[in-house]
Copies of this chain bind each other. A is one copy, B any other.
Amino acid sequence: MECGDCPIRYRAVCSRCEDSELDMLNRIKTYETYAAGETILWAGDRMRFLGSIVSGVATLSQTMEDGRRQMIGLLLPSDFVGRPGRANSPYDVTAVSDVMVCRFAKTEFEALIETSPAISRRLLEMTMDELDAAREWLLILGRKTAREKIASFLAIIARRQLSLTHGGVAGAVTFDLPITREAMADYLGLTLETVSRQMSALKKDGIIALEGLRRVTAPDFAALLDETGDDADGGMPA
């Protein structure tokens, strides 16, 4: 695939690159696909590649000895995978749906960061965005009730899918859950039974409606936001 045709050309780590920088990335990139359910990288594995999610959904998670698991990132198209300068992956990376990754050879990419400001600046910006998202998640995990956690998750997924991070969203909104109830539980620090119960409760209260298991409609997005416990004026870092 040519970079010019890439669906994430203007959002990924390469988004600010000039043609000359794109050429250099082109030389070290390969596309790799992973089937739904496949583990892309185990915690502790040596990382030979870094890359961008081109299509599909993957998760970052950490598992304790006794099996307790916490998801710590949801990787959607254009998100970056891996950390320059680190030898081993601290997390499990798992393909949730079929995933295509644009992989860069690690050593060569690290060299490019040193010489290409367009790449390193964009990487800094993306890393800061991830840090903000992780910090927002800390509030959700540390202080929110189960119902607020579910509502927050639904609101975040809705916003990401509708690409409406900026500006108000109003009225009815429909979107798809990218992950199972169990994965939602791992994300929210809950059990899957509690996730199921709270989804049912939100449905009973008319906050959401379900079509099948994955498709969610919020007839009044503002009402869903009310359930998140966040300030009325958004709560999203500006």
Contacts and interface: CB of A to CB of B under 8 A. Distances in A.
A141 B145 CA distance: 13
- The number of times this chain is found in the oligomer is 2
A132 interface: yes
A201 interface: no
Contacts of A128: 83, 85, 127
Nearest to A149: B142
A108 interface: no
A225 to B, nearest CB: 13
A62 B137 CA distance: 11
Contact of A127 (B60, B88, B91, B127): B127
Contact of A229 (B64, B83, B130, B229): B64
Given A120-B121, A130-B131, A238-B86, A138 B70 contact: yes
Max chain B Cβ within 10 angstroms of own Cβ: one of A68, A114, A132, A143 = A143
A209 interface: no
Interface in A114-172: 114, 117, 120-121, 123-125, 127-128, 130-132, 134-135, 137-139, 141-143
A188 to B, nearest CB: 7
Contacts of A114: 117, 121
Nearest to A69: B143
A90 B134 contact: no
A230 interface: yes
Interface of A: 60, 62, 64-66, 68-70, 72-73, 83, 85-88, 90-91, 113-114, 117, 120-121, 123-125, 127-128, 130-132, 134-135, 137-139, 141-143, 188-189, 229-231, 237-238
